Structure 1
């Protein structure tokens, strides 16, 4: 399997945590496969590489909380949910029909209203923008 995003995600560790990337910052392929084996769905390549790169790092809980691989689930509206804000007001996910797309569009759900809306960007764009916003805001 070709790696499209792995090195870019690994680069987030030194960029935002100011330490060199270490294997413990990610989840091994074997651990990830074990965590995902109970699911009836396959995760997109970009999410797989995100977990491999930073699934064991502090970035998983930097302002918002990325779900551990075994916690992933598809809701009743057909969205694979992977992220939640600290107040549980919003959840982010992919359309289940887009899971074979290597880097699918991200949607946000307002948990109070139950409405999913497009973030108008792919997972990789969303993640890089989110971390930039989180860590830039912390500096201000």
Structure 2
């Protein structure tokens, strides 16, 4: 398996938390494989690598919005859901039928209306942009 984004995702820990990345920050490949097999879902490479790199790091996973733990991932409305805001007003996902795309486009659902809006960026772009915004936001 190629590691397209693993090192970049691991780099989020020293970049924003000012501590070295540790193996405990991530989730083992085998554990991810077992969860996704039990859920019977295919997860795009970028999301798998994100969880492998930082899936156990609460400061990253709950930096502003809440990335779902692997066992919480679900498909709804044709989207693989992976993130929600604190008030559960919005949920983010990617088209489930594009799970073979390594780094698919992210969509946001307004939970009140059920309307989906294209975020116009891939999962990796979305994550890096969101975390930069969260950790560099002025008080």
Q: TM-score, normalised by structure 2?
A: 0.96
* 2: CA distance, partners of 1:17 / 1:27: 18
Once the two structures are TM-superposed, the CA of residue 34 in structure 1 deviates from its matched residue by: 2.0
**Aligned equivalents of 1:41 and 1:65: distance in 2?**
20
Correspondences of 1:64-83 after superposition (within 5 Å): 64-75=65-76, 77-83=77-83
SS at match of 1:4: coil
What is the aligned-residue RMSD (CA, Å)? 0.9
Q: Name the residue aligned to 2:39.
A: 39
Q: CA deviation at 1:97?
A: 1.2
CA–CA separation in structure 1 for the residues paired with 2:108 and 2:93: 6
**Partner residue, 2:30:** 30
Q: How does 1:56-135 map to 2 (within 5 A)?
A: 56-57=56-57, 58-75=59-76, 77-135=77-135
Structure 1: state its 5+ residue gaps. Answer: none
Runs of at least 5 residues in structure 2 that lack an aligned partner in the other structure: none
Distance 1:113 1:133 in 2: 26
Report the alpha carbon displacement of residue 39 of structure 1 after superposing the two structures with TM. 1.8
